Copies of this chain bind each other. A is one copy, B any other.
Amino acid sequence: MNTQVSRRTTAQQVLERLREHILDGDYPPGAKLDETSVAKELGVSRTPLREALFGLERDGLLTHEPFRGRIVARNDDAAVAEIFPILGALEALAVRMSGAYPPETLSKLDDVNRRITEPGVSPGLRHGFDQAWHQTLVADCGNPRLIELIERHRAIAARHDGGEARGMADAPGSTADHAEIVEALRDRRNDDAAALLERHWNDGVAVVAEWRAQAAKQEKKST
């Protein structure tokens, strides 16, 4: 069916496409992945699909129960409480390993951070800017493995659980944290920035939990 011109294998492509779909919320947390349907949907047979599923499962994006199917991993408060501190430690390390941040990087960080708070941007976009900010922060640490690891964990933790509860991170405190961190970096106080960053992620656990509780309450009201 496919003419196989690519250098990448079907399973690899499927893995990446599925990953994107999960991150975009097309397959939300808790959704069951029916092999036959998904295979048909992507136009491949079950064999490469299953190989991709195995990889994603190993990434922590899927959970698997033998003979009962695969589920997109939940991202509940418990998961956040486990992952956010890990991200804090890893990004802090990346900041410490980075040298002096060049002016253009610093202004990019400021710029992106400013856009997070700009009025009129959709919550989804705001969330995207937040992601971009963190990505820029660690991009030049010189440890590709670390970057990849951070990326994977952010992928797990960044998805919205609880049935498309939108509204994410208006985060008045969050952008203030970001600004403070950039300021430290401008002064070449990377260690201080790292410490702030770690606290930022740890605070995030409570922030997300609070925000979700609010969203759940609103959800109930509108029913």
**Interface residue ranges, A against B (CB under 8 Å):** 7-9, 11-12, 47, 50-52, 54-55, 57-60, 66, 79, 82-83, 85-86, 88-90, 92-93, 97, 143-146, 149
Beta-carbon contact of B9 and A82 below 8 Å = no
Complex Cα distance A122/B57, Å? 37
In the complex, the 4 A-B pairs of residues with the closest C-beta atoms, listed nearest first: A89-B93, A58-B58, A82-B145, A55-B58
| Contacts beyond the supplied A11-B54, A52-B54, A86-B90: 14 A-B pairs with Cβ under 8 Å | A8-B66, A51-B51, A54-B54, A58-B59, A82-B143, A82-B144, A83-B145, A85-B93, A85-B143, A86-B146, A88-B93, A89-B89, A89-B90, A90-B90
Task: Report the separation of the CA atoms of residues A144 and B81 in the bound assembly, to the nearest whole angstrom.
Answer: 11
Instruction: Give complex CA distance A184, B145 in Å.
Output: 31
Residues of B within 8 A of A50 (CB): 51
Interface centre among A50, A51, A89, A145 (most CB of B within 10 A): A89
Contact A86 B54 (CB under 8 A): no
Minimum CB–CB distance from A98 to chain B (whole Å) comes to 12
**Closest residue of B by beta carbon distance from A83:** B145
A93 to B9, CA, bound (A): 38
Distance of A55 Cα from B62 Cα, bound (Å): 12
Asked if A82 and B146 sit within 8 Å, CB to CB, the answer is yes
Separation in Å of the A157 CB from the closest CB of chain B?
Answer: 11
Residues of B contacting A59 with CB < 8 Å? 58
Instruction: Output the least CB separation between A1 and chain B (Å).
Output: 18
28 pairs, CB–CB < 8 Å, chain A vs chain B: A8-B66, A9-B66, A11-B54, A47-B47, A51-B51, A51-B54, A54-B54, A54-B58, A55-B55, A55-B58, A58-B58, A60-B145, A79-B145, A82-B143, A82-B144, A82-B145, A82-B146, A83-B145, A85-B93, A85-B97, A85-B143, A86-B93, A86-B145, A86-B149, A88-B93, A89-B89, A89-B90, A90-B90
